[in-house]
Amino acid sequence: MLQQYKKQTLHISKEEYIRYSKQIILRQIGIEGQQKLKNTKILVIGAGGLGCPILLYLVSSGIGLIGILDPDYIEKPNLNRQVLYNAIDIGELKTKCAKKKLQLVNSNTRIVTHKWKLDHKNSIEVIRYYDIIIDATDNFDTRSTIDKTCHKLHKTYIHGAINEFEGELAVLNYKDGLKYENLYKDSTNILENNCNRNGIMGISTGYIGLLQTIETIKIILGLDKKCKNSIIRYSILINKMKKRLINPSRILKTEILKHNFGAMQKVVNKSMSNIIIDVREEEKFRKEHKKRSINIPFLKLHLLQSKLLLENYSKNRSILINCNDANRSNTVSEILNQYKINNEITIL
């Protein structure tokens, strides 16, 4: 079914020109930009709390073709955050109901439904037909499958996740940039939306879903300041957004460096443009670590000696944070920011 859409070029009709006139008059969009939106094929994986606002605004903006992949049926607990559905839809397949509602919003957008669960056996077959893949799922295994498939097929992947009052966003595999496995190598530390276990505030999904949609449209239109090689985290409780730069390309060879402050200072004094702060436990650092890395275990970051060393170093060098725990890396980055020390998170 998707093959018929693969190489079609779609043009803006008079009715669409009127419908989208308020965004067409924007200098950054114009008719050419609207044409790009119409000729883009987007797959939204997950038609739940994140997927619903994503789908609504993609359709409203004039995306030409949208695929919806979700095997689930609508249940009553979904209704506090899955804004496409209401009480009379309970028991209906999400993809079927979403398509029906979205076509009422904009009949110009073609909707293709996939009512099965994505896995490594079927992911290539469905993802290959789309230009951009939006992750609106809630589990590590599916995200990992999306990540590997998008990397193999060179597809941009917009990641979003929610847990309780927090959410995160990342643009992945964009121009050979950051991948999901760079953020989370396993499921230990992911921000995973298990509503039955952790609970969730419905408006959180709306906010993160909108951010995913914005990044998607910016990529289509070629607008600057895309969220590349970084992860954005937002807390609705404190109304605060944090952006952390994560550089996946700084791969350095392993070189054993004895853990003591004298050795650290020796490395710091070398002429180099950057240095890695490895915040893992000393035992793990001794077994294996990267060249030009300094081991300051997480629990020792508060020591004055650590602070002074990092302050001295940061005057003319870049500090890269390396840790196999994404949440801990973010915490370390926040601590260094409090010290007014410039830093970035790097995946090695």
Query: What single string gives the DSSP state of each residue in 276-322?
Result: EEE-S-HHHHHHS-BTTEEE--GGGTTSHHHHHHHHHHTTTSEEEEE
CA dihedral 197, 206, 69, 138 (to 10 degrees): -20
Give me the phi and psi of 139, to 5 degrees please: -150, 155
Q: Do 225 and 305 belong together in one domain?
A: no
Asked whether residue 104 falls in the same domain as residue 150, the answer is yes
Q: Which amino acid is at 104?
A: L
Q: Are 148 and 141 in contact (CB under 8 A)?
A: no
Q: Are residues 97 and 176 in the same domain?
A: yes
- Structural domains in the chain (count): 2
Per-residue pLDDT at 311: 80
Question: Of 158, 130, 126, 129, which is closest to residue 143 (Cα–Cα)?
Answer: 158
Q: At residue 114, does pLDDT exceed 90?
A: yes
Statement to judge: residues 50 and 109 lie in one domain: yes
User: Residue 121: which domain range?
Assistant: 40-245
170-196 tens-digit pLDDT: 999 888 788 888 787 665 455 554 555
CATH number at residue 231: 3.40.50.720
The model's pLDDT over 89-106, given as tens digits with 9 standing for 90+, comes to 999 999 999 999 999 999
- pTM for the full predicted model: 0.74
Whether residue 44 is found in the same domain as residue 161: yes
**pLDDT tens string 235-291:** 888 888 888 777 665 433 333 333 344 444 444 444 356 778 888 888 888 777 777
Let me know whether 154 and 217 are in one domain: yes
312 and 224, same structural domain? no
**HSE of 248 in the Cβ direction (CA atoms, 13 Å)?**
19
Q: Is residue 77 part of a domain?
A: yes
Decide if 313 is inside a domain: yes
Does 291 lie in the same domain as 219?
A: no
- Is residue 162 a contact partner of residue 191, using CB atoms and an 8 Å limit? yes
For residue 26, is it within any domain? no
- The pLDDT, as a whole number, for residue 2 is 66
48 occurs within a structural domain? yes
**Higher local confidence (pLDDT), 39 or 318:** 39
Q: Are 87 and 126 in a shared domain?
A: yes
The pLDDT assigned to 343 comes to: 77
CATH number of the CATH domain containing 289: 3.40.250.10
CA-to-CA distance for 297 and 200, rounded, in angstroms? 33
- Asked if the model's pLDDT at residue 149 lies above 80, the reply is yes
- Counts for the chain of helices (H) and strands (E), in that order: 14, 12
Instruction: Measure Cα distances from 303 to 146, 297, 314, 335 in Å.
Output: 41, 11, 17, 12
Q: Which burial class, exposed, middle or buried, applies to 215 when counting CB atoms under 10 A from its CB (0-12, 13-18, 19+)?
A: buried
User: Could you tell me if residue 341 is inside a domain?
Assistant: yes
Q: Which range is least confidently modeled, 44-48, 68-72, 268-272? A: 268-272
What's residue 187's pLDDT? 54
Q: Are 343 and 336 in contact (CB under 8 A)?
A: yes
Q: Are residues 308 and 193 in the same domain?
A: no
Compute CA 347 distance to the chain's CA centroid, rounded to the nearest angstrom: 15
Shared domain check, 240 and 298? no
Q: Do residues 104 and 238 share a domain?
A: yes
The whole-number pLDDT of residue 6 equals 62
